[in-house]
Structure 1
Amino acid sequence: MKMPKVIKLKPSQLLVLTFMTGITLGTCLLKLPISTTEGISWVDALFVSASAMTVTGLSTVDPSTAFTMFGQAVIALLIQVGGLGIMSFAVLIYMMLGRKVGMKDRLIMQQALNQTNIGGVIRLVKYMFIFAFAIELAAMIFLAFVWVPEFGWVKGLFYSLFHAISAFNNAGFGLFSDNLIGYVGNPIINIVISFLFIVGGIGFTVLVDMWQKKKFRKFSLHTKIMLIATLVLNLVSMLVLFVLEYGNPGTLGSLSLGDKLWASWFQAASPRTAGFNTLDMGAMHEASLFYIIILMFIGAGSASTGGGIKLTTALVILLATVTFLKGRKEINIGRRSLDSGYIIRSLSITIVAILFVISAIFLMTITEDESFLEILFEVVSAFGTVGLSMGVTASFSSLGKLILVFIMFLGKLGPLTLIYSLATPAAKSTYRYPNEDILTG
């Protein structure tokens, strides 16, 4: 008897498959009568499940009213699994059972965590769970000081845990109809929530490096770049939004100076894939919205819970441009030079991302009746797995929602991972063609 042929999948294909499986299971759980207050459509269940698994935060229904506490717990579970990765939990189970993690599983983890080499991947997973659960637990305790007195022990602790998970994993799901607008001037909410999504967004590689080496001068180049760039970008963004929105009565205009500063800080850090908002996004000036779109497209750090093209990718492209304009051939930063392969990879990620985003915007301008800026904002928010919205997500057609589901999926896995999963391995060439110049610019 002939044995059936075993289908061998590449690590990138297995990664795509596991996320698709998680989204499907989440859709079925959210469609259960026990999960919703009045029932939701299959498309809306799929959208919310995909948004939670990809830690985006966009929603076609109001999570605070459409779902029961069970349904909200399902969303929190999907966020946690999606943020840390399905394969990370599989590796954790392997370690708990005392089983050895095979080479194929390590390759998948390398792909999922966006690591340049396979060494140290399992150690990174161990630290990842320790950091995640410890930080979320501490954050829940601090948030409980606000929400337990307001809602009681059960609901207050649940809200605290839900928002701690959502913030650390950069999901942006909130259990209030206006997200966190009602807490625009609350110091605890502003400090704890922004701390969570900044720490979750700089990447576990950075956290492990800081934990092990302690001193800044001993940190790796990647860690130094992420820490400095994150601080500078957040402070500059805070200043930009403070100036642009200062007199806007729909956002900062009606707030006290202290609340203006809190709101500016929070809204400056949030677009880097967090998705929480303490200001009404639909009331912002177009200049502010466009600036936020740029931040959402850039995204968080590599090996983090966030999406986007990643901050280091944007920095490599910027440095490559500056290097070219100065007439140099090598990118030098921090007394180190970057290999040309990183430049090609960064350009590839950015170009592929732009092509997918442009295609989605083009399709949705055909299928939807919303303005171009609103569609642009929602699509980039989906790609960056941010979750910020101008309030039009629920009004999209079923086709428009499915397009956003694909873009969220793309943004979480990364454009190159998705393409690698579909591409056929090319045969290695044993010859080279002669060089010839072409005109550019």
Structure 2
Amino acid sequence: MKYRVIQLSPPQLLVAVFAFFIMVGMVLLKLPISTTEPITWLEALFTTTSAMTVTGLAVVDTGSVYTVFGQIVVMCLIQLGGLGIMSFAVLIVMMLGKKIGFKERLLLQQSLNQTSVGGVIMLVRYLFTFSLLVEGIGMVFLATQWVPRYGWEQGLYYSLFHSVSAFNNAGFGLWSDSMMQFVGNPVINFTLSFLFIIGGVGFTVLVDAWKSRAFRKLSLHSKIMILGTLMINVAATLIIFILEYNNPGTLGHLSLGDKGLASYFQAVTPRTAGFNTLDYGEMESPTILFTVLLMFIGAGSASTGGGIKLTTFLMILLAVGAFLREKKDIKIFRRSIDQTIILKSLAISTLSVLLVFSALFVLTISEKGADFQTLLFEVVSAFGTVGLSMNFSPELSTVGKWIIIFVMFAGKMGPLTLAYSLSRPGKEKIRYPKEDILTG
């Protein structure tokens, strides 16, 4: 009897391995040792999907429902999902002294969203070294605040958990109100934001910056990411500060300094971080809509964050600008952008919009009586693997939970990766004559 060996492409294998570890995590969280009270299989699946996709949405309170063992399972899934399953696999192979084959390099390229297989092994080495170093530094700074408050054992544990969660842009917290009780604490605010901004910029940019040591020597991608991140964070801080200044439910009752600190934190956290120091359920509608845009844009390529990615958003803006100025070439920093990049950006954005719209459409049917703005916020938060919520996640119906689980998974994998894993690409053998159509 002959057995047929199933050959999986890199995108298909990546999706399959990711799904496998989500299932393993679900089984671990269903163990009696993992919870303080019984949870359903769906609730366990929701949590493990949220952790592996470094989202942070939760249908049960992580700090009270899960035991320390369950929380450690969640933390390990966050680290695994944030740094990449394939990266961990390659690290183990290297530690065993084995040779990394071309297929494994292709998987790494797909996992880390690189343009070529060259240098991916070195990138993995930098990735782990830098990640552990930054998480350790973050833990030390957080410990200065939480060890005096909770004691050495609990304080260090809280510091480790939130440092890992922040750097991987997961947004899981051990308090039911996230970081709202620390809204005026500059050490906690700046430490957490430093961790998730560094994690969200992208490993490629970090390695490039480490090697170049000068802005003019950076690659075009790194220049765009650094400047784009700086500009969008400053603009978002000012916009949120203005919109929420007199809102008694958010900034209204805070001092001027705390208003600025809270505005800054809420400006940078939608870039897939998931922590919050203000209650999104009390925010003004314009702020919610603006936050939805930030969540949809997301972080950088090859980072721990999600969304369509900042570079994708900026490429579309540059393409629109070039079209309006009747320019054929798209130029920035004395470099021209290849048309293939623009087409890929359009494909990613279009698939993402369709995914968000489809999920939102189903939720408007399944979640009777729910506010449309709340549903939109929940779906985009899941797609961008952000984890922010208007206090609605625990209210989701069974169908709603399944929809959000799928959106989190699709958001982490990326719409194009899922499309590639389901498609069967073939070579074009016939070319047809071109003809214009009317648009606009």
| TM-score past 0.5 threshold | yes
Alignment-mate amino acid for residue 360 of structure 2: I
Aligned partner of residue 332 in structure 1, secondary structure: strand
- In the alignment, the residues of structure 2 paired with residue 170 and residue 318 of structure 1 have an alpha-carbon distance, to the nearest angstrom, of 25
Stretch deviating more after TM superposition (381-390 or 25-34):
25-34
Query: Partner of 1:137 in structure 2?
Result: 136
Alignment-mate amino acid for residue 268 of structure 2: A
1:50 matched to 2:54? The reply is: no
1:5 deviates by 1.5
- In the alignment, the residues of structure 1 paired with residue 232 and residue 47 of structure 2 have an alpha-carbon distance, to the nearest angstrom, of 30
1:424 deviates by 1.2
Query: Partner of 1:8 in structure 2?
Result: 7
1:386 deviates by 0.1
- In the alignment, the residues of structure 1 paired with residue 163 and residue 315 of structure 2 have an alpha-carbon distance, to the nearest angstrom, of 32
Query: Partner of 1:319 in structure 2?
Result: 318
Deviations 1:331-386 (A, max 9, x none): 00000000000000000000000001100000000000211100000000000000
- In the alignment, the residues of structure 1 paired with residue 108 and residue 383 of structure 2 have an alpha-carbon distance, to the nearest angstrom, of 22
Query: Partner of 1:336 in structure 2?
Result: 335
Alignment-mate amino acid for residue 55 of structure 1: V
Alignment-mate amino acid for residue 424 of structure 1: R
- In the alignment, the residues of structure 1 paired with residue 219 and residue 155 of structure 2 have an alpha-carbon distance, to the nearest angstrom, of 40
Query: Partner of 1:189 in structure 2?
Result: 188
Query: Partner of 1:412 in structure 2?
Result: 412
- In the alignment, the residues of structure 1 paired with residue 4 and residue 392 of structure 2 have an alpha-carbon distance, to the nearest angstrom, of 48
- In the alignment, the residues of structure 2 paired with residue 219 and residue 424 of structure 1 have an alpha-carbon distance, to the nearest angstrom, of 37
Alignment-mate amino acid for residue 146 of structure 1: Q
Query: Partner of 2:30 in structure 1?
Result: 31
Deviations 1:157-193 (A, max 9, x none): 0100000000000000011110000000101101100
Alignment-mate amino acid for residue 419 of structure 1: A
1:4 deviates by 1.3
Query: Partner of 1:218 in structure 2?
Result: 217
1:429 deviates by 2.0
1:251 deviates by 0.2
Q: Once superposed, which parts of structure 1, at least 4 consecutive aligned residues long, lie more than 2 Å away?
A: none
1:390 matched to 2:390? The reply is: yes
Query: Partner of 1:78 in structure 2?
Result: 77
Aligned partner of residue 70 in structure 1, secondary structure: helix
Query: Partner of 2:252 in structure 1?
Result: 253
Query: Partner of 1:403 in structure 2?
Result: 403
Alignment-mate amino acid for residue 73 of structure 1: I
Query: Partner of 2:242 in structure 1?
Result: 243
Query: Partner of 1:269 in structure 2?
Result: 268
Alignment-mate amino acid for residue 363 of structure 1: V
- In the alignment, the residues of structure 2 paired with residue 94 and residue 331 of structure 1 have an alpha-carbon distance, to the nearest angstrom, of 42
- In the alignment, the residues of structure 2 paired with residue 3 and residue 128 of structure 1 have an alpha-carbon distance, to the nearest angstrom, of 42
Query: Partner of 1:372 in structure 2?
Result: 372
Query: Partner of 2:381 in structure 1?
Result: 381
Query: Partner of 2:177 in structure 1?
Result: 178
Stretch deviating more after TM superposition (108-117 or 380-389):
108-117
What is the RMSD of the two structures over their aligned residues, measured on CA atoms? 0.6
Deviations 1:70-124 (A, max 9, x none): 1111110000000001111000000100111111111111111111111111111
Alignment-mate amino acid for residue 106 of structure 1: R
Q: TM-score, normalised by structure 1?
A: 0.99
- In the alignment, the residues of structure 1 paired with residue 93 and residue 398 of structure 2 have an alpha-carbon distance, to the nearest angstrom, of 39
Deviations 1:284-320 (A, max 9, x none): 0000000000000000000000000000000000000
Aligned partner of residue 164 in structure 1, secondary structure: helix
Aligned partner of residue 81 in structure 2, secondary structure: helix
Alignment-mate amino acid for residue 266 of structure 1: F
Alignment-mate amino acid for residue 380 of structure 1: V
1:359 matched to 2:392? The reply is: no
Aligned partner of residue 336 in structure 2, secondary structure: strand
Q: TM-score, normalised by structure 2?
A: 0.99
Query: Partner of 2:94 in structure 1?
Result: 95
Deviations 1:42-89 (A, max 9, x none): 111000000000000000011111111111111100000000011110
- In the alignment, the residues of structure 2 paired with residue 117 and residue 407 of structure 1 have an alpha-carbon distance, to the nearest angstrom, of 28
Deviations 1:99-158 (A, max 9, x none): 111111111111111111111111111111011100001110110011111111111101
Query: Partner of 1:149 in structure 2?
Result: 148
Aligned partner of residue 197 in structure 2, secondary structure: helix
- In the alignment, the residues of structure 2 paired with residue 429 and residue 414 of structure 1 have an alpha-carbon distance, to the nearest angstrom, of 25
1:3 deviates by 3.4
Alignment-mate amino acid for residue 143 of structure 1: L
Aligned partner of residue 431 in structure 1, secondary structure: coil
- In the alignment, the residues of structure 1 paired with residue 341 and residue 266 of structure 2 have an alpha-carbon distance, to the nearest angstrom, of 31
Query: Partner of 2:307 in structure 1?
Result: 308
- In the alignment, the residues of structure 2 paired with residue 47 and residue 325 of structure 1 have an alpha-carbon distance, to the nearest angstrom, of 44
1:432 deviates by 1.2
Query: Partner of 2:283 in structure 1?
Result: 284
- In the alignment, the residues of structure 2 paired with residue 433 and residue 281 of structure 1 have an alpha-carbon distance, to the nearest angstrom, of 53
Query: Partner of 2:198 in structure 1?
Result: 199
Aligned partner of residue 176 in structure 2, secondary structure: coil
- In the alignment, the residues of structure 1 paired with residue 428 and residue 32 of structure 2 have an alpha-carbon distance, to the nearest angstrom, of 57
- In the alignment, the residues of structure 2 paired with residue 122 and residue 50 of structure 1 have an alpha-carbon distance, to the nearest angstrom, of 27
1:430 deviates by 2.8
Alignment-mate amino acid for residue 360 of structure 1: A
Deviations 1:224-282 (A, max 9, x none): 11000101100000000000000000000000011001100000000000000000010
Alignment-mate amino acid for residue 405 of structure 1: I
Alignment-mate amino acid for residue 415 of structure 1: P
